[in-house]
Structure 1
Amino acid sequence: MRTLFFRSASPSPSNSPSRSTIPTSSPRHSFSDSLMEENIEMAQTLITKWDNSDVSSYTKLTSLFHDDRREAKEYLKCVRDLQSAMHHFVNSQDSSAEKLIISQNLMQSAMKRLEKEFYQILSENRENLDSETVSSRSSESRASTRSSVSDLESESEDELMVLDADQVSSIPMADLKSIADCMISAGYGKECVKIYKIIRKSIVDEGLYHLGVEKMSLSQVQKMDWNVLETKIKNWVNAVKVAVKTIFYGERLLCDHVFSSSDSIRESCFSEISKEAATTLFGFPELVAKCKKSPEKMFRTLDLYQAVADLWPEIESIFSFESTFAVRSLGVNSLIKLGEAVRGMLEDFESAIQKDQSKTPVPAGGIHPLTRYVMNYITFLTDYTEILADIFADYPLTLQTPLPEAYFGCYDVDESPISVRIAWLVLVLLCKLDGKAELYKDVALSYLFLANNLQYVVAKVRDSNLKYLLGDYWVGKHESKVQQYAGNYERMGWSKVYASLPENPTAEISSDQAKAYFKQFNAAFEEAYKKQSSWVVTDPKLRDELKVLVAKKVVPAYREFYEKHRVGLRRECGVDSLVRYAPENLNNYLSDLLYGASGGGSVSSSFSTTSSSHSRGR
């Protein structure tokens, strides 16, 4: 203690007193001075031990943080103590240039060593510090990093070989943070930040490359064949989820952890590491939105919108820095442009329905290709109900007159913008079908066509999510309309057959009159049967209902007439050829009807092209 507190120094000749009678003594040496000198000595011993600046390849073979974790911890402590000593002597009245020079040289040596350690940890732990590993670590495991690393400092090298995956990533993260804290505190943050940005940016860029994300210009996207672009959209939708939830999220966590001591550094690091890759990633949807619009591109455009919208909370959180505002802006602009594209395509879709110019009636009165395409298209739209509701929230349908209540009586559903818009599209289709029914020369067949197509529409609504948009009231109203069309077909198609029999089948009439009625019935029934044997009703239930409806009116009346007058004509020659049908056989003939050979009608080029492309796309 005497040596520590009363250490004397020989006076310098230049400081010798002018009068020999004044006793010579050194300036007063404080307790703090002695402690700081001891800090320098201890730091010099440990820093010099690990100073390999003269052997360039040495750090590749031996790592302070890998070989001796306890000594690594002591090394960082010595650097902090050395920094304290430097501050002390700079502010001390007894400022020693020699001590400051020694300290500064030691500090530079230590920073070079830590810089190499920082680089080596980052380089050798690319797999342990990959974004997926970092992002999957729970907040609980991150909170326990300090204690787990502290425990591991006492483990042997063999024991460290059996660390679990969480510890394998925790250790290098903790080491990087310790080094970064030390270097930033010493004023050498720039050196470790430069290394960190270079290595981690390459990892992020490599991650996006493996996901198939590539930088493209607007002209490249616009010139791309739709099938190729569609494949790229599918890939992007899958890639963006991994990129946001794993790559960028993991990188943000790692950056925040390593540089937690400096908000400005962690912001600049993450921004420079991720900004270029994120700009490439989030710039793609807007490019697609700017391409030529057509109904066939609707669903892929909605996929892009949904992907960005679903990930928006994460995007906003990960890229929350002011320096990453451009990335957030790209996300917002993508949603705006994609929304505009969707609204435009739906308008084009409605216009295409109204402009359909196909003039050839569908054979046999079957389902029109336009009906199939439009209803399948609208049904697919219901997979995106929430997204469409968001896109059309501020864009309600504007009509000169409101939708007819009989068509869209919203007693059991909310009149949301998307519900009204879907209802309107169906109404546009039905109005178009009314016009196409006029192409048939036979009125009965035109009603059968309307019954077939409306039944198809109702079935699509009832058996899909459309029922939640249009409601049971809508379904019930249109089912009644189907029955109305079916009744009109039955009356028009079989009126001659009904009229061929007397009003009262059992009334007394002459033999000649009875013969005339049998001839009329034969002719009328054969004409109706021949004509309608090629007609079709595609819905089995509706087909059976129609045949039952006809049979109930034809067979009982004919049976009464047949049983009343066939006996009286039995003795006359040629009666068997005149009475061609037994009542029990009429049901057999009727049961064969409305299975006509299915044939496809024509449809305008705009729909045929779109329909084939869409079927391939979905």
Structure 2
Amino acid sequence: MYPCLSIEGYDDSSSGGSSPVSYRSGPSESDGSSSSNADEFCPDPYPSGSDSPSSSSFVRDGVDRTSFLTAASACVLDDIDSHRQRMLALLPAFSSPAGAGARAQPLSRWLSGFGVGWVLDMDASGLTGAAAERLPRREVGRRVRAWAQALGTMERVFRLRHRELTVKQVEALGELAAASPGAMLRLARAVAALESSPSKLLAALDVYAPVSEAFPVLGRMFSWGPSHPVSAAAGGTLAALVDATRSCGRDLRAFVRSHYPWRMPQGGEVHPCVGFWMGYFRCLLRNRISLCFVLGGSGDGDGEDAPPGAEGGFGLVTELISCLEAVLEEKSAALAFPGLRQVFMLNNTFAIVRRAVRSDLKLFLPPGWVRARDERMEGFIKGYMDVSWAPVVARLDDAGGTKASAVLRRRTANRLSVFYSALENAYSAQRCWKVPNPVLRGVLRKTVSGNVVPAYRRYLEDHPEVDVAVGRSAEELEQQLSDLFEG
């Protein structure tokens, strides 16, 4: 009676059945969630100039260091030879006789050449003070990515070029190498000090990987022991990032419940939080190795401080999707009609699965995850039909044990008018409900017509004495029901 929903083009070991519904439908077949929210945590890797803050605190020595955070910086960061020439020109300032004051301006020029000169201001303004008001969340994310790319390129310059220098230049290079990563750690410490939030978790993971990879290489290259100031600072920063990441991981369920505004869409369409959080879960996997290592525990076997679902890091994503689904179901109780709640859950479950199987999230879903959502959606359709249309069709029954059926038996002549009244009430309300995806909308309309129209046609055939009013034929009823869920 009800359609069997399954993934088209998705191999799930426990799936079965067939359905015209495809979660791999093209971009024109919207699931109803906002694209801007969907891309909230998947921005372009380089910011536009219009997004950069213009405060004078980010201008030093006549250089606006935020101006380097542009798409053009991608080419500059890959130009190792250009950075080598800059390095050779700046090395005299880092020779032994030079003092810290004389090195401030060359260090600023060196970092600005990588587009990250603004890290020198991190201790003064950081990401949590007045600068936070000038830096939106996306700008913080852009800066973290620019910082990570700059640190990697800087490490390559030091690693590939220091063997070609004289002894005196190598000594100066060691001073430059100590000053540069030391300054770069300011952003990492600022990220670790942010208040717990979904954005902080992403930023901490983005920062953790380059720090854990680049600083040990630099330490071996320049023979920095564990007690060297840079090595000690890097170790302390990594520990702070691990603590921050695990703390945010423990808070994620609370974030899902409260971080996004939960104003319910009154047409039953996809809640904007679905695009927001599914995009966020995708970004968690952007640093999947760090996620696995940091959230997987310290390796001492107790697992006491690891967040729930941290086994391998990826179990957390599956649990968070389940948490999102549970919150959606809880919030659906605020909708006015039981049938609307079923439509709301159908829309949102479809959107969640569609976003999961069309992204790299599908690689980390447990066996049977998709099949379970297929069955859940079939249940939502059945529940919707039971509460919205079964009572309408029941008006045509000639027998039944309910009080309403007994009344209908005594008033056979009025049964059809009662059916028409119930039909119009259901139709007028549900025509304003929304099923944004056209394929899913078609399935739901077909299900309604497949249950209502045959029952109506049988009633007319069983009661030829009834005069059917103009516009009330079975074909016209089917056409009327095809307007449902337009919103």
Task: Tell me the TM-score normalized by structure 1.
Answer: 0.54
SS of the residue 2:389 aligns to: helix
* Pair 488,398 (structure 1): closer, same or farther in 2 beyond 3 Å: farther
Instruction: Give yes or no for the alignment of 1:466 onto 2:364.
Output: no
Match of 1:238 in 2: 149
**Which of 365, 370, 373 in structure 1 is aligned with 2:268?**
365
**Which of 229, 250, 257 in structure 2 is aligned with 1:347?**
250
Matched-pair identity in %: 21
* Pair 208,440 (structure 1): closer, same or farther in 2 beyond 3 Å: closer
Match of 2:178 in 1: 275
2:152 aligned partner, one-letter code: K
Instruction: Give yes or no for the alignment of 1:589 onto 2:480.
Output: yes
SS of the residue 2:323 aligns to: helix
Match of 2:425 in 1: 527
Match of 2:332 in 1: 437
1:527 aligned partner, one-letter code: N
Match of 1:284 in 2: 187
Distance in 1 separating the partners of 2:286 and 2:483: 40
**Which of 428, 437, 453 in structure 2 is aligned with 1:555?**
453
* Pair 230,392 (structure 1): closer, same or farther in 2 beyond 3 Å: closer
Shift of 1:251: 5.3
Q: Which has the higher helix share?
A: 1
Shift of 1:297: 3.4
Instruction: Give yes or no for the alignment of 1:249 onto 2:159.
Output: yes
Say if 1:244 and 1:311, in contact at 8 Å, map to a contact too.
yes
Deviation digits for residues 341-380 of structure 1 (CA, Å, limit 9, x no counterpart) = 2222333332133347977542112222333322222222
Say if 2:224 and 2:231, in contact at 8 Å, map to a contact too.
no
Deviation digits for residues 37-80 of structure 1 (CA, Å, limit 9, x no counterpart) = xxxxxxxxxxxxxxxxxxxxxxxxxxxxxxxxxxxxxxxxxxxx
Summarize the alignment of residues 592-603 of structure 1 with structure 2, pairs less than 5 Å apart. Answer: 592-596=483-487
Shift of 1:477: 0.8
* Pair 556,197 (structure 1): closer, same or farther in 2 beyond 3 Å: same
Distance in 1 separating the partners of 2:140 and 2:409: 79
- Please say which of residues 482-491 and 294-303 is displaced more in the overlay: 294-303
Instruction: Give yes or no for the alignment of 1:216 onto 2:121.
Output: yes
Match of 1:616 in 2: none
Deviation digits for residues 165-209 of structure 1 (CA, Å, limit 9, x no counterpart) = 9xxx9xxxxxxxxxxxxxxxxxxxxxxx85899999997764324
Shift of 1:394: 0.7
SS of the residue 1:364 aligns to: coil
Deviation digits for residues 493-528 of structure 1 (CA, Å, limit 9, x no counterpart) = 101221011358xxxxx9996642321221121111
Distance in 2 separating the partners of 1:323 and 1:431: 47
Shift of 1:268: 5.1
Shift of 1:550: 1.7
Distance in 2 separating the partners of 1:592 and 1:442: 19
Match of 2:441 in 1: 543
Match of 1:572 in 2: none
SS of the residue 2:120 aligns to: coil
Distance in 2 separating the partners of 1:322 and 1:511: 93
Say if 1:547 and 1:590, in contact at 8 Å, map to a contact too.
yes
Distance in 1 separating the partners of 2:409 and 2:181: 95
2:475 aligned partner, one-letter code: E
Shift of 1:533: 0.6
**Which of 446, 449, 452 in structure 1 is aligned with 2:344?**
449
* Pair 134,580 (structure 1): closer, same or farther in 2 beyond 3 Å: closer
Distance in 2 separating the partners of 1:284 and 1:253: 29
**Which of 372, 377, 383 in structure 2 is aligned with 1:477?**
372
Larger Rg over CA atoms: 1
Summarize the alignment of residues 93-108 of structure 1 with structure 2, pairs less than 5 Å apart. Answer: none
Distance in 2 separating the partners of 1:448 and 1:561: 28
Distance in 1 separating the partners of 2:303 and 2:357: 24
Aligned length: 379
Distance in 2 separating the partners of 1:382 and 1:554: 46
Say if 2:271 and 2:348, in contact at 8 Å, map to a contact too.
yes
Match of 1:518 in 2: 416
Deviation digits for residues 521-565 of structure 1 (CA, Å, limit 9, x no counterpart) = 211211111111111123333222222222222112212222343
Greater RCO, 1 or 2 (C-alpha within 8 Å, sep 6+) = 2
After superposition, the CA RMSD in angstroms is 3.8
Distance in 1 separating the partners of 2:169 and 2:153: 23
* Pair 524,305 (structure 1): closer, same or farther in 2 beyond 3 Å: same
5+ residue gaps, structure 1, are 1-130, 137-164, 170-192, 260-264, 404-414, 505-509, 570-574, 597-618
